[in-house]
Amino acid sequence: MASAACCRAPILRRPSSHYQWYWNYRQDDGKEEEWMKYINIDNEIIEDAYNEQKDEVEIDGSIMINLKQQIQYQKVDLSEQCVIKRVLLEERVGRNVHLQEERFSQTIVVSTTTSIDGQRDLPRRDADTHAASIEKYDLFSNDVQTSHMTRSLHWIFSSVLGNKPATESENKNKERNDAIEHAIQKVLSVDKTQTGMQWMRSGYFSSGYELSELRSKNKTIANVVQEAAEGILKEGEAVGKLCQAQHLAQQLMKVKHYGEDIQVKYFKGIQCPSEIGDTFVNVYTKDSFWYKLLNGVLRHPKTASYDQLKTLGPFCFLLHNYLKNISTTDILRVYRGILLTTAEERKSFMDKHVRFLSFNSTTANRELAEIYGNTLLIIDLDTKFNAMQDCQVGA
Protein backbone atom coordinates (compact mmCIF):
# COMPACT_ATOMS: atom_id res chain seq x y z
CA MET A 1 0.00 0.00 0.00
CA ALA A 2 1.26 3.42 -0.85
CA SER A 3 2.36 5.74 1.90
CA ALA A 4 0.35 8.80 2.92
CA ALA A 5 3.49 10.88 2.92
CA CYS A 6 2.97 14.42 1.75
CA CYS A 7 4.82 16.31 -0.91
CA ARG A 8 2.32 18.84 -2.25
CA ALA A 9 0.72 22.01 -0.99
CA PRO A 10 -2.59 21.77 0.87
CA ILE A 11 -5.65 21.57 -1.27
CA LEU A 12 -6.80 25.08 -0.29
CA ARG A 13 -3.61 26.78 -1.43
CA ARG A 14 -3.21 25.23 -4.86
CA PRO A 15 -4.20 27.10 -8.04
CA SER A 16 -5.54 24.00 -9.82
CA SER A 17 -9.10 25.37 -9.94
CA HIS A 18 -7.98 28.07 -12.40
CA TYR A 19 -7.29 25.52 -15.12
CA GLN A 20 -9.38 22.76 -16.63
CA TRP A 21 -7.95 19.80 -18.53
CA TYR A 22 -9.92 18.18 -21.35
CA TRP A 23 -9.57 15.02 -23.44
CA ASN A 24 -10.87 14.15 -26.89
CA TYR A 25 -10.58 10.99 -28.98
CA ARG A 26 -8.98 11.55 -32.37
CA GLN A 27 -11.69 11.51 -35.02
CA ASP A 28 -11.29 11.39 -38.79
CA ASP A 29 -14.98 11.33 -39.70
CA GLY A 30 -15.29 15.08 -40.18
CA LYS A 31 -17.53 15.52 -37.14
CA GLU A 32 -17.10 18.43 -34.78
CA GLU A 33 -14.71 17.72 -31.93
CA GLU A 34 -16.25 17.15 -28.51
CA TRP A 35 -13.94 17.88 -25.61
CA MET A 36 -14.67 16.11 -22.32
CA LYS A 37 -13.68 17.45 -18.90
CA TYR A 38 -11.61 15.44 -16.48
CA ILE A 39 -13.38 15.15 -13.12
CA ASN A 40 -12.03 17.64 -10.61
CA ILE A 41 -9.79 15.26 -8.67
CA ASP A 42 -8.16 13.92 -11.85
CA ASN A 43 -7.87 17.52 -13.04
CA GLU A 44 -5.92 18.36 -9.87
CA ILE A 45 -3.65 15.33 -10.24
CA ILE A 46 -2.82 16.33 -13.82
CA GLU A 47 -2.38 20.01 -12.95
CA ASP A 48 -0.05 19.16 -10.06
CA ALA A 49 2.10 17.06 -12.37
CA TYR A 50 2.12 19.86 -14.95
CA ASN A 51 3.24 22.43 -12.37
CA GLU A 52 5.94 20.04 -11.16
CA GLN A 53 7.12 19.77 -14.79
CA LYS A 54 6.65 16.02 -14.95
CA ASP A 55 6.55 14.32 -18.33
CA GLU A 56 3.83 11.85 -17.33
CA VAL A 57 1.35 11.13 -14.58
CA GLU A 58 -1.03 8.23 -13.97
CA ILE A 59 -4.71 8.48 -13.08
CA ASP A 60 -7.04 5.63 -12.12
CA GLY A 61 -8.06 3.18 -14.80
CA SER A 62 -4.46 2.48 -15.87
CA ILE A 63 -4.57 5.75 -17.78
CA MET A 64 -1.34 7.60 -18.48
CA ILE A 65 -1.23 11.32 -19.21
CA ASN A 66 1.75 12.35 -21.33
CA LEU A 67 2.09 16.05 -20.63
CA LYS A 68 4.97 16.52 -23.03
CA GLN A 69 3.11 15.17 -26.06
CA GLN A 70 -0.36 16.24 -24.79
CA ILE A 71 -1.89 12.78 -25.16
CA GLN A 72 -3.69 10.24 -22.98
CA TYR A 73 -3.20 6.51 -23.43
CA GLN A 74 -3.87 3.16 -21.78
CA LYS A 75 -0.90 1.49 -20.10
CA VAL A 76 -1.95 -1.86 -21.55
CA ASP A 77 -2.68 -0.56 -25.05
CA LEU A 78 -0.52 2.26 -26.39
CA SER A 79 -2.60 2.43 -29.56
CA GLU A 80 -5.66 3.62 -27.65
CA GLN A 81 -4.85 7.31 -27.45
CA CYS A 82 -6.64 10.63 -27.28
CA VAL A 83 -5.47 14.22 -27.27
CA ILE A 84 -5.64 16.48 -24.22
CA LYS A 85 -5.53 20.21 -23.65
CA ARG A 86 -5.27 22.72 -20.77
CA VAL A 87 -7.65 25.68 -20.67
CA LEU A 88 -7.49 28.77 -18.46
CA LEU A 89 -10.89 29.34 -16.88
CA GLU A 90 -12.59 32.64 -16.27
CA GLU A 91 -12.71 33.54 -12.60
CA ARG A 92 -16.46 33.04 -12.35
CA VAL A 93 -16.44 29.66 -14.08
CA GLY A 94 -16.67 26.69 -11.77
CA ARG A 95 -18.18 28.61 -8.88
CA ASN A 96 -21.74 27.35 -8.64
CA VAL A 97 -22.30 27.73 -12.39
CA HIS A 98 -22.63 23.99 -12.92
CA LEU A 99 -23.67 21.81 -10.02
CA GLN A 100 -22.24 18.32 -9.66
CA GLU A 101 -25.25 16.49 -11.08
CA GLU A 102 -24.73 13.21 -9.24
CA ARG A 103 -24.81 14.93 -5.85
CA PHE A 104 -28.05 16.76 -6.59
CA SER A 105 -29.85 13.85 -8.21
CA GLN A 106 -29.36 11.41 -5.33
CA THR A 107 -32.28 10.49 -3.09
CA ILE A 108 -32.22 12.22 0.28
CA VAL A 109 -32.56 9.73 3.11
CA VAL A 110 -34.25 10.96 6.28
CA SER A 111 -34.79 9.27 9.61
CA THR A 112 -37.94 7.15 9.58
CA THR A 113 -38.30 7.35 13.35
CA THR A 114 -37.82 11.04 14.02
CA SER A 115 -40.89 12.14 15.94
CA ILE A 116 -42.89 15.32 15.42
CA ASP A 117 -41.60 16.82 18.65
CA GLY A 118 -38.07 16.75 17.35
CA GLN A 119 -36.69 13.98 19.56
CA ARG A 120 -33.81 12.29 17.83
CA ASP A 121 -33.94 8.55 17.26
CA LEU A 122 -30.81 8.05 19.31
CA PRO A 123 -30.32 4.86 21.29
CA ARG A 124 -31.66 5.82 24.69
CA ARG A 125 -32.90 4.55 28.04
CA ASP A 126 -35.89 5.28 30.23
CA ALA A 127 -34.94 6.24 33.77
CA ASP A 128 -36.64 7.62 36.81
CA THR A 129 -35.08 10.81 38.12
CA HIS A 130 -34.57 9.28 41.56
CA ALA A 131 -31.08 8.03 42.33
CA ALA A 132 -32.25 4.63 43.53
CA SER A 133 -33.46 3.80 40.03
CA ILE A 134 -29.94 3.86 38.58
CA GLU A 135 -29.33 0.21 39.42
CA LYS A 136 -32.68 -0.83 37.90
CA TYR A 137 -31.76 -0.14 34.31
CA ASP A 138 -28.95 -1.22 32.06
CA LEU A 139 -27.04 1.70 30.55
CA PHE A 140 -26.04 -0.42 27.58
CA SER A 141 -28.58 -3.22 27.08
CA ASN A 142 -28.44 -5.74 24.26
CA ASP A 143 -31.35 -4.18 22.38
CA VAL A 144 -29.42 -0.91 22.11
CA GLN A 145 -31.87 1.04 24.29
CA THR A 146 -28.99 3.19 25.53
CA SER A 147 -28.33 6.77 26.44
CA HIS A 148 -25.71 9.01 24.91
CA MET A 149 -22.52 8.54 26.94
CA THR A 150 -22.21 12.17 27.88
CA ARG A 151 -25.85 12.42 28.94
CA SER A 152 -25.47 9.30 31.11
CA LEU A 153 -22.47 10.61 33.00
CA HIS A 154 -23.91 14.11 33.22
CA TRP A 155 -27.14 12.74 34.68
CA ILE A 156 -25.24 10.60 37.17
CA PHE A 157 -23.10 13.41 38.53
CA SER A 158 -25.26 16.51 38.21
CA SER A 159 -28.72 15.09 38.81
CA VAL A 160 -27.76 12.55 41.45
CA LEU A 161 -24.94 14.14 43.37
CA GLY A 162 -26.10 17.69 42.82
CA ASN A 163 -29.68 17.04 43.94
CA LYS A 164 -28.91 15.08 47.07
CA PRO A 165 -31.45 15.96 49.82
CA ALA A 166 -29.89 17.72 52.79
CA THR A 167 -31.77 15.45 55.25
CA GLU A 168 -30.71 12.17 53.66
CA SER A 169 -29.58 9.53 56.15
CA GLU A 170 -26.14 7.92 56.09
CA ASN A 171 -27.60 4.62 54.85
CA LYS A 172 -29.46 6.36 52.04
CA ASN A 173 -26.28 8.21 51.15
CA LYS A 174 -24.38 4.91 50.97
CA GLU A 175 -27.10 3.42 48.75
CA ARG A 176 -26.85 6.44 46.51
CA ASN A 177 -23.06 6.17 46.20
CA ASP A 178 -23.25 2.43 45.59
CA ALA A 179 -25.80 2.98 42.83
CA ILE A 180 -23.58 5.58 41.20
CA GLU A 181 -20.55 3.30 41.39
CA HIS A 182 -22.57 0.44 39.90
CA ALA A 183 -23.68 2.61 36.98
CA ILE A 184 -20.17 3.92 36.34
CA GLN A 185 -18.74 0.40 36.34
CA LYS A 186 -21.30 -0.63 33.74
CA VAL A 187 -20.23 2.27 31.57
CA LEU A 188 -16.55 1.37 31.96
CA SER A 189 -17.02 -2.36 31.37
CA VAL A 190 -19.14 -2.13 28.23
CA ASP A 191 -17.69 -3.67 25.06
CA LYS A 192 -16.53 -0.53 23.29
CA THR A 193 -16.36 -2.18 19.87
CA GLN A 194 -19.89 -3.55 20.08
CA THR A 195 -21.26 -0.26 21.36
CA GLY A 196 -19.43 1.70 18.68
CA MET A 197 -20.97 -0.54 16.03
CA GLN A 198 -24.43 -0.01 17.51
CA TRP A 199 -24.04 3.75 17.32
CA MET A 200 -22.62 3.59 13.81
CA ARG A 201 -25.49 1.44 12.54
CA SER A 202 -27.93 3.89 14.10
CA GLY A 203 -26.50 6.52 11.76
CA TYR A 204 -23.90 8.06 14.08
CA PHE A 205 -20.50 7.33 12.56
CA SER A 206 -18.75 10.04 14.56
CA SER A 207 -20.04 8.79 17.92
CA GLY A 208 -19.44 5.17 16.92
CA TYR A 209 -15.82 5.87 16.09
CA GLU A 210 -15.36 7.85 19.28
CA LEU A 211 -16.73 5.04 21.45
CA SER A 212 -14.81 2.31 19.66
CA GLU A 213 -11.48 3.90 18.83
CA LEU A 214 -10.91 6.89 21.14
CA ARG A 215 -12.02 5.64 24.52
CA SER A 216 -9.13 5.01 26.93
CA LYS A 217 -6.65 6.02 24.24
CA ASN A 218 -4.27 8.95 24.35
CA LYS A 219 -4.67 10.38 20.85
CA THR A 220 -4.16 13.79 19.33
CA ILE A 221 -6.01 15.30 16.39
CA ALA A 222 -2.87 14.59 14.35
CA ASN A 223 -3.25 10.89 15.16
CA VAL A 224 -6.83 10.94 13.92
CA VAL A 225 -5.79 12.77 10.73
CA GLN A 226 -3.21 10.02 10.16
CA GLU A 227 -5.89 7.36 10.61
CA ALA A 228 -8.19 9.21 8.21
CA ALA A 229 -5.46 9.29 5.55
CA GLU A 230 -4.73 5.60 6.03
CA GLY A 231 -8.45 4.84 5.77
CA ILE A 232 -8.65 6.66 2.43
CA LEU A 233 -5.66 4.69 1.11
CA LYS A 234 -7.08 1.35 2.23
CA GLU A 235 -10.52 1.97 0.75
CA GLY A 236 -9.07 3.44 -2.45
CA GLU A 237 -6.87 0.43 -3.02
CA ALA A 238 -9.83 -1.90 -2.45
CA VAL A 239 -11.93 -0.28 -5.20
CA GLY A 240 -9.14 0.31 -7.70
CA LYS A 241 -8.85 4.05 -7.06
CA LEU A 242 -5.39 4.19 -5.54
CA CYS A 243 -4.31 7.25 -7.55
CA GLN A 244 -7.24 9.28 -6.22
CA ALA A 245 -6.67 7.89 -2.72
CA GLN A 246 -3.01 8.89 -2.70
CA HIS A 247 -3.89 12.38 -3.87
CA LEU A 248 -6.54 12.87 -1.17
CA ALA A 249 -4.42 11.32 1.59
CA GLN A 250 -1.58 13.68 0.74
CA GLN A 251 -3.85 16.67 1.33
CA LEU A 252 -4.67 15.43 4.83
CA MET A 253 -1.07 14.65 5.69
CA LYS A 254 0.01 18.13 4.68
CA VAL A 255 -2.09 19.68 7.47
CA LYS A 256 -1.60 16.92 10.03
CA HIS A 257 0.95 18.94 12.04
CA TYR A 258 -1.70 21.53 12.97
CA GLY A 259 -3.21 18.95 15.33
CA GLU A 260 -0.07 17.56 16.94
CA ASP A 261 -0.52 19.31 20.28
CA ILE A 262 -4.30 19.04 20.52
CA GLN A 263 -5.46 16.15 22.67
CA VAL A 264 -8.71 14.40 21.80
CA LYS A 265 -10.66 14.16 25.04
CA TYR A 266 -13.17 11.36 25.05
CA PHE A 267 -16.70 12.73 24.54
CA LYS A 268 -15.64 16.24 25.51
CA GLY A 269 -15.78 17.71 22.01
CA ILE A 270 -12.83 19.15 20.10
CA GLN A 271 -11.91 22.38 18.39
CA CYS A 272 -10.57 21.21 15.06
CA PRO A 273 -8.05 23.70 13.58
CA SER A 274 -9.44 25.46 10.53
CA GLU A 275 -6.46 24.34 8.42
CA ILE A 276 -7.46 20.73 9.05
CA GLY A 277 -11.21 21.29 8.95
CA ASP A 278 -11.18 23.25 5.70
CA THR A 279 -9.02 20.59 4.06
CA PHE A 280 -11.41 17.84 5.19
CA VAL A 281 -14.35 19.78 3.73
CA ASN A 282 -12.54 20.19 0.42
CA VAL A 283 -11.52 16.54 0.28
CA TYR A 284 -15.11 15.47 0.92
CA THR A 285 -16.54 17.77 -1.74
CA LYS A 286 -14.20 16.52 -4.47
CA ASP A 287 -15.77 14.40 -7.18
CA SER A 288 -13.95 11.23 -6.16
CA PHE A 289 -14.49 7.65 -5.05
CA TRP A 290 -14.21 8.84 -1.42
CA TYR A 291 -17.27 11.06 -1.55
CA LYS A 292 -19.30 8.32 -3.25
CA LEU A 293 -18.22 5.64 -0.78
CA LEU A 294 -18.67 7.78 2.32
CA ASN A 295 -22.03 9.16 1.23
CA GLY A 296 -23.28 5.70 0.29
CA VAL A 297 -22.38 4.20 3.66
CA LEU A 298 -23.88 7.14 5.56
CA ARG A 299 -27.13 6.65 3.65
CA HIS A 300 -27.25 2.95 4.56
CA PRO A 301 -25.53 2.72 7.98
CA LYS A 302 -27.12 -0.59 8.99
CA THR A 303 -24.97 -2.40 6.42
CA ALA A 304 -21.68 -0.82 7.57
CA SER A 305 -18.90 -3.09 8.80
CA TYR A 306 -16.38 -2.74 11.61
CA ASP A 307 -13.63 -2.26 9.03
CA GLN A 308 -15.56 0.71 7.66
CA LEU A 309 -15.91 2.13 11.17
CA LYS A 310 -12.10 2.16 11.33
CA THR A 311 -11.47 3.43 7.79
CA LEU A 312 -14.32 5.95 7.47
CA GLY A 313 -14.78 6.80 11.15
CA PRO A 314 -11.73 9.07 11.66
CA PHE A 315 -12.68 11.22 8.67
CA CYS A 316 -16.32 11.45 9.80
CA PHE A 317 -15.27 12.30 13.36
CA LEU A 318 -13.09 15.27 12.41
CA LEU A 319 -15.40 16.55 9.69
CA HIS A 320 -18.45 16.35 11.97
CA ASN A 321 -16.72 18.09 14.88
CA TYR A 322 -15.39 20.84 12.63
CA LEU A 323 -18.74 21.56 10.96
CA LYS A 324 -20.74 21.66 14.18
CA ASN A 325 -18.43 24.30 15.67
CA ILE A 326 -18.37 26.76 12.77
CA SER A 327 -21.06 29.15 11.63
CA THR A 328 -21.98 30.69 8.30
CA THR A 329 -23.37 34.21 8.33
CA ASP A 330 -23.09 35.32 4.71
CA ILE A 331 -25.47 32.70 3.25
CA LEU A 332 -28.78 32.48 5.12
CA ARG A 333 -30.89 30.47 2.67
CA VAL A 334 -30.01 27.46 0.51
CA TYR A 335 -31.98 25.19 -1.82
CA ARG A 336 -32.18 21.55 -2.77
CA GLY A 337 -34.37 19.97 -5.44
CA ILE A 338 -35.60 16.45 -4.70
CA LEU A 339 -37.85 13.89 -6.36
CA LEU A 340 -40.80 12.78 -4.22
CA THR A 341 -43.04 10.17 -5.81
CA THR A 342 -45.30 9.00 -2.97
CA ALA A 343 -47.48 10.57 -0.30
CA GLU A 344 -45.38 8.87 2.36
CA GLU A 345 -42.22 10.50 1.05
CA ARG A 346 -43.88 13.89 1.09
CA LYS A 347 -45.08 13.34 4.65
CA SER A 348 -41.50 12.65 5.77
CA PHE A 349 -40.56 16.18 4.75
CA MET A 350 -43.63 17.78 6.34
CA ASP A 351 -42.61 16.96 9.91
CA LYS A 352 -41.64 19.77 12.22
CA HIS A 353 -38.15 18.29 12.52
CA VAL A 354 -36.35 16.22 9.92
CA ARG A 355 -33.04 14.47 10.55
CA PHE A 356 -30.91 13.71 7.51
CA LEU A 357 -28.87 10.53 7.70
CA SER A 358 -26.00 11.85 5.59
CA PHE A 359 -24.44 15.01 4.26
CA ASN A 360 -26.58 16.49 1.51
CA SER A 361 -25.60 19.04 -1.12
CA THR A 362 -27.39 22.39 -1.33
CA THR A 363 -26.89 25.55 -3.35
CA ALA A 364 -27.55 29.24 -2.87
CA ASN A 365 -28.74 29.36 -6.50
CA ARG A 366 -32.48 28.60 -6.53
CA GLU A 367 -32.71 28.33 -10.32
CA LEU A 368 -30.10 25.59 -10.42
CA ALA A 369 -31.75 23.66 -7.57
CA GLU A 370 -35.10 23.74 -9.39
CA ILE A 371 -33.59 21.74 -12.26
CA TYR A 372 -33.62 18.59 -10.14
CA GLY A 373 -36.70 16.67 -8.96
CA ASN A 374 -40.27 17.86 -8.48
CA THR A 375 -40.02 19.37 -5.00
CA LEU A 376 -37.90 22.28 -3.83
CA LEU A 377 -36.54 22.34 -0.28
CA ILE A 378 -36.04 25.91 0.92
CA ILE A 379 -33.70 25.79 3.90
CA ASP A 380 -33.32 28.83 6.12
CA LEU A 381 -30.08 28.59 8.06
CA ASP A 382 -30.39 29.56 11.71
CA THR A 383 -27.00 30.95 12.70
CA LYS A 384 -28.02 30.81 16.38
CA PHE A 385 -28.86 27.11 16.20
CA ASN A 386 -26.96 25.05 18.79
CA ALA A 387 -25.65 22.04 16.92
CA MET A 388 -24.23 20.51 20.07
CA GLN A 389 -27.63 20.34 21.79
CA ASP A 390 -30.20 20.23 19.03
CA CYS A 391 -28.89 18.26 16.09
CA GLN A 392 -26.67 15.43 15.04
CA VAL A 393 -25.27 15.13 11.55
CA GLY A 394 -25.26 11.57 10.31
CA ALA A 395 -21.50 11.62 10.05
Q: How far apart are CA 20 and CA 39, in angstroms?
A: 9
- What CA–CA distance (Å, rounded) separates 134 from 159? 11
CB half-sphere exposure, 151, CA atoms < 13 A = 14
* Residue-wise burial string across 150-183, b where 16 or more C-beta atoms lie within 10 A, e elsewhere: eebbebbeeebeeeeeeeeeeeeeeebeebbeeb
Pairing of strands 36-37, 375-380: unpaired
Q: What kind of architecture, by CATH, is found in domain 11-88?
A: 2-Layer Sandwich (3.30)
Domain boundaries, the chain: 11-88, 131-192
List of residues 6+ apart from 66 with CB closer than 8 A: 55, 56, 72, 73
**Rounded to an integer, what distance in angstroms lies between the CA atom of residue 392 and that of residue 202?**
12
Q: Which of 32, 59, 26, 33 is nearest to 287 (CA)?
A: 59
Tens-digit pLDDT profile for the chain (395 aa)? 444 443 444 444 444 468 999 999 765 555 667 899 998 899 999 999 999 999 999 999 999 999 999 999 999 888 888 999 999 987 544 444 445 555 655 666 555 443 323 333 433 333 333 333 333 333 333 333 334 444 454 444 444 444 555 555 666 667 766 766 666 556 555 566 777 787 777 777 888 888 888 877 889 999 999 999 999 999 999 999 999 999 999 999 999 999 999 999 876 778 899 999 999 999 998 889 998 898 888 878 888 888 999 999 999 999 988 988 887 677 788 888 888 787 777 776 676 566 666 667 788 888 888 887 888 888 887 655 544 433 333 33
User: Which secondary structure element, helix H or strand E, spans residue 335, and what is its range?
Assistant: strand 333-338
